[in-house]
Structure 1
Amino acid sequence: MKKVLLVVIALFFVQFSFAQKLTVYIVRHAEKDMSNTTLKDPELSFEGKQRALELNRILKGKGINDIFSTNYIRTRNTAGPLRDYRGLPLHLYDATKPADLVKTIKTEYDGKTLLIVGHSNTVLELIEAFGGKKPFEEIPETVYDNLFKLTINGDKISVSTSKYGKKSIEEN
């Protein structure tokens, strides 16, 4: 019995000693077309399409293994150029359940590099759900240029923020 217990304990420690670094890039969707404000699910604007191309340019050499997006045209199309370039499927997730997405990613994507495309009111919640600290309190409705990088190594997480594409106009 003692030998079985020792083997189980050893396997437990071996499993955690081989945990690999997980890298997660998180962005808000690019600019949406507001020419018809009655649409609940608008396309990207011209500026948004340009930002999506810029996101591809920045991330195409980062070894993205999988892409996650909410099921909206603007989020799917923000990921579109990179998805097409890398030939990756697009995994849809429910933005109202960030803990479920984090659990899936942490258990099934260890050692991978991922992109998640969300919304101004969900991106910072995702960072917190991963165990990171929000770099600021909110993302204004007019800001689309934040690129968050989470590096997760066991229980250690670092969050860095950079900008990409054309500078967003900040609300006053």
Structure 2
Amino acid sequence: MRARYILLLLICFQVSFSQSQNKEIKADETIYYFIRHAEKDKSSPENRNPKLSKKGQLRALNWAYFFREIPLVTIYSTNYIRTITTAEPVAGDKNLPITIYTPKEVNINSFKKKNYGKSVLIVGHSNTTPEFVNAILGFEKFKKMKDNDNSSLFIIKEIKGDVIVERLSISF
């Protein structure tokens, strides 16, 4: 029953984006999409900047497919191999550059002002992704992600002062 509900939710979610596929978002509508990097290669635990595993490479390609009909304007990534290579297929598909950010140096008010009226993707980590989502929201809603959670998609929609936030688990 739960699986059917999740499937129905995902279908409805995808349909809502498909209906707006070639439309730009409205000037008073800002949408933030947050994902954690795809699965990393854990063969060398001491490596603090690993590449993606084969499974992670496939997930990165699937994220590109997922975002294909979503009119992203900017793609942000931390300066790590695993986050950049998660963002690259989406950026390549959209013909967009990847803008590097440092989570501890982001001024949230400036970030929100810079991205007002845009649809942006932010690729981060298990700790920085929920922290960034919480900072955009202005309160703590989400805790650190589990280390095996590479499928969460956080969406914040700001429309005419109203804020809608969702956390979805996207399986490929």
Give the alignment's Cα RMSD to 1 decimal: 1.8
Task: Give secondary structure in 2 for the equivalent of 1:48.
Answer: helix
Residues matched between the structures, number: 147
Gap regions ≥5 residues in structure 2? 1-25
For residues 126-137 of structure 1, the aligned pairs below 5 Å read: 126-131=132-137, 136-137=142-143
> 112, 135, 159: which is aligned to 2:165?
159
1:97 CA drift (Å): 3.1
Aligned equivalent of 1:78: 86
Instruction: Tell me, in whole angstroms, the C-alpha distance in 1 between the residues paired with 2:45 and 2:71.
Output: 37
Confirm or deny: 8 A CA contact 2:134 2:141 kept in the other structure.
no
Gap regions ≥5 residues in structure 1? 1-17, 167-172
Aligned equivalent of 1:27: 35
TM-score, L = length of structure 2: 0.79
Instruction: Tell me, in whole angstroms, the C-alpha distance in 2 between the residues paired with 1:88 and 1:55.
Output: 15
Instruction: Tell me, in whole angstroms, the C-alpha distance in 1 between the residues paired with 2:118 and 2:87.
Output: 17
Instruction: Tell me, in whole angstroms, the C-alpha distance in 1 between the residues paired with 2:91 and 2:64.
Output: 8
TM-score, L = length of structure 1: 0.79
For residues 16-165 of structure 1, the aligned pairs below 5 Å read: 20-98=28-106, 100=107, 102-131=108-137, 136-165=142-171
Task: Give secondary structure in 2 for the equivalent of 1:35.
Answer: coil
Larger Rg: 1
Task: Give secondary structure in 2 for the equivalent of 1:41.
Answer: coil
1:128 CA drift (Å): 1.2
Q: Percent identical across equivalent pairs?
A: 33
52 and 78 in structure 1: CA distance in 2 versus 1, 3 angstrom threshold: same
